[in-house]
Structure 1
Amino acid sequence: MKSALETAEKSFSFALFFEDFKQITKVRLSLSVVFSSVAGYLLGAPSVDMLVVLLLTIGGYFMVGASNAFNQVIEKDLDVLMDRTKNRPIPAGRMSVSMALFIAISFTILGLFTLYIINPKTAMFGAISIFLYTSVYTPLKTKTPLSVFVGAIPGAIPFMLGWVAATNDFGIEPGTLFMIQFFWQFPHFWALAWMLDDDYKKGGFIMLPTGKKDKATALQIIMYTIWLIIASVFPVLGLTGSLHLSVVAAIVIAGLGFYMMYWAIKLYRKMDNKTARGLMLASVLYITLIQIVYVVDKFIQA
């Protein structure tokens, strides 16, 4: 009887730790980043090597998980002040700082090693991503709205990282993929920051470009959405090396962009959290679908 009880307690404890592990590494965000990386790989690879896909998936998850764990260690005293973060493993007292650091450091080492097996350039960009996210973006969040610009750089690396993993080269093709995801960061994150502005202020974070939910912020969201659409359809002009986009695919992507623009303009007019949520969801739909369109279009053209 005692043995069965001990087994049940161990299983329960493991389940709780696994849930906290998923929170400290932000598993859903990590998987979305891995999706972008694999899409970039499929675009750049002349033929698909499943071993590289596996290494990119594992290495990418390690790198993003490490960044998120470091972030939660650094912001532990601020997370406890905000409703959306106070139940995270560290501020809630379910995980020690030393355990979170162990996960972060282990993931960094394993991630860099895994990406280095693919090629050194992939590992280099992975290292740059972790450094910028944890050492520059995270400290700046309480100092200046420009932190979002800095954070958009590591946030834009995954799509182009896949191309670099496939080709061991950085040129106009991965640069274009980088710019697409870079411009996407702004309407996506500012829509999220709009919804969470009151909570962010409790932690001292300055995330909106003007520091408040106003017309100027909404206008900047519209402007970056325009740049996003332009960057996304630009390869149809045939000026981006071996990264091609058919006219049909460009029309589809433009249509998705106009849907996102609809929400951006609506936010400018309505200035409410409900519309900001609609824009945030539209942005997630946009980046997911255009990556699929790019990959499908490549194989159709081939």
Structure 2
Amino acid sequence: MKTVVHTAKRFAIPVTFTDFKEVTKAGLTISVVFSSIAGYLLGMVEFDWLSFFLLVFGGYCLVGASNAYNQVIEKDLDALMNRTKNRPVPSGRMSVNTALGIAVVMTLFGLVALYILNPKTAMFGAISLFLYTSAYTPLKTKTPLSVFVGAFPGAIPFMLGWVAATNEFGIEPGTLFMIQFFWQFPHFWALGWMLDEDYKKGGFKMLPTGKKDKGTALQIIMYTFWMIIISIIPVFGITGRLHLSIPAAILVFLLGLGMLFYAFRLYEKRDNKSAKRLMLASVSYITLMQLVYVVDKFI
């Protein structure tokens, strides 16, 4: 009996809070949940604490589960790259079974919470989880089109908040979806540009042309341009209950121009420093744009 206990202790891999945060990518997960909260505030008629809690809890669980599944699937590839080799699973601090168990439990909790909120929200949450783990993740080593596929689950959270608040899908959440859909291309291609050498160690094909060249930079400019156009469409009164005042539209437009400026700088310089600036500008844009939309609704 003592031998069994000793052996179990030897091979037990405790799950620390830090490792849990890393395997679920807590920082990224919180930023995704923020998009859902913005969508909820835009769609709601009356604020409901229970609905809000179910959205935040269910959304965090599903996004965290997606990230945990991703790290289980890519554990061998993560071990090859500098930016990911110290993650809990490839470093050996967390077993595959433990990470998978966390992902499964969070999936169940997330889907149940969103289903209690309303079935449509749970359905879109499940679609996002499925596309991220079963389509985007395996395609990353196959084709640059993985970014296109990944843009679908990545664009759902902003839309999901509206559906959670209204239990309806229409032009309003569709517009929110399209804004975040087009935003992801310059964001992830800037990130892919910065980390291209490291990504290649894992066999990931993230840039549209496969190279850090003018072709990739030009596509970044094009998608940024369309992102700006779609972001101000609600000012024209053609997106149902989703409205944007003229001052708010001007502000969103200026924020977009700032991001477009860094996209052109990347085209001109074609270096990692410019790519990093664009990536940071894209993070600022999506956050500030959503805040402008929300504040504009309530003033």
- Provide TM-score, normalisation by structure 1: 0.94
Letter in 2 for 1:88: R
SS of 2:286's equivalent in the other structure is helix
Q: How far 1:262 moved relative to its partner? A: 0.4
Distance, in Å, in 2 between the alignment partners of 1:254 and 1:279 is 16
CA contact (8 A) 2:71 2:89 kept: yes
SS of 1:286's equivalent in the other structure is helix
Query: Is 1:128 equivalent to 2:130 in the alignment?
Result: no
Distance, in Å, in 2 between the alignment partners of 1:235 and 1:243 is 6
1:174-211: CA deviation from partner (whole Å, max 9, x where unpaired) = 00000000000000000000000000000000000000
Query: Where do 5+ consecutive residues of structure 1 fail to align?
Result: 1-12
User: What aligned pairs does 1:18-97 form with structure 2 within 5 A after superposition?
Assistant: 18-97=17-96
SS of 2:243's equivalent in the other structure is coil
Residue 146 of structure 1 corresponds to which residue in structure 2?
145
SS of 1:157's equivalent in the other structure is helix
Distance, in Å, in 2 between the alignment partners of 1:89 and 1:28 is 15
Q: How far 1:14 moved relative to its partner? A: 11
Query: Where do 5+ consecutive residues of structure 2 fail to align?
Result: 1-11
Distance, in Å, in 1 between the alignment partners of 2:81 and 2:186 is 23
SS of 2:90's equivalent in the other structure is coil
Distance, in Å, in 2 between the alignment partners of 1:105 and 1:16 is 16
Distance, in Å, in 1 between the alignment partners of 2:49 and 2:263 is 39
CA contact (8 A) 2:72 2:96 kept: yes
SS of 1:229's equivalent in the other structure is helix
Query: Is 1:179 equivalent to 2:178 in the alignment?
Result: yes
CA contact (8 A) 2:58 2:110 kept: yes
Distance, in Å, in 2 between the alignment partners of 1:90 and 1:42 is 36
Residue 161 of structure 2 corresponds to which residue in structure 1?
162
CA contact (8 A) 2:38 2:158 kept: yes
Residue 189 of structure 2 corresponds to which residue in structure 1?
190
Residue 4 of structure 2 corresponds to which residue in structure 1?
none
Percent pairwise identity: 73
Residue 225 of structure 1 corresponds to which residue in structure 2?
224
Letter in 2 for 1:210: T
Distance, in Å, in 1 between the alignment partners of 2:296 and 2:38 is 12
CA contact (8 A) 2:259 2:278 kept: yes
Residue 4 of structure 1 corresponds to which residue in structure 2?
none
CA contact (8 A) 2:24 2:65 kept: yes
SS of 1:182's equivalent in the other structure is helix
Residue 7 of structure 2 corresponds to which residue in structure 1?
none
Runs of 4+ in 1 over 3 A off after TM superposition: 13-16
Q: How many pairs were matched up?
A: 288
Q: How far 1:51 moved relative to its partner? A: 1.4
Letter in 2 for 1:154: P
User: What aligned pairs does 1:207-222 form with structure 2 within 5 A after superposition?
Assistant: 207-222=206-221
Letter in 2 for 1:199: D
- Provide TM-score, normalisation by structure 2: 0.95
Q: How far 1:15 moved relative to its partner? A: 9.6
Distance, in Å, in 2 between the alignment partners of 1:68 and 1:137 is 12
Distance, in Å, in 1 between the alignment partners of 2:27 and 2:109 is 20
Residue 267 of structure 1 corresponds to which residue in structure 2?
266
Residue 255 of structure 2 corresponds to which residue in structure 1?
256
1:13-70: CA deviation from partner (whole Å, max 9, x where unpaired) = 9997111100000000000011000100000001111111111111000000000000
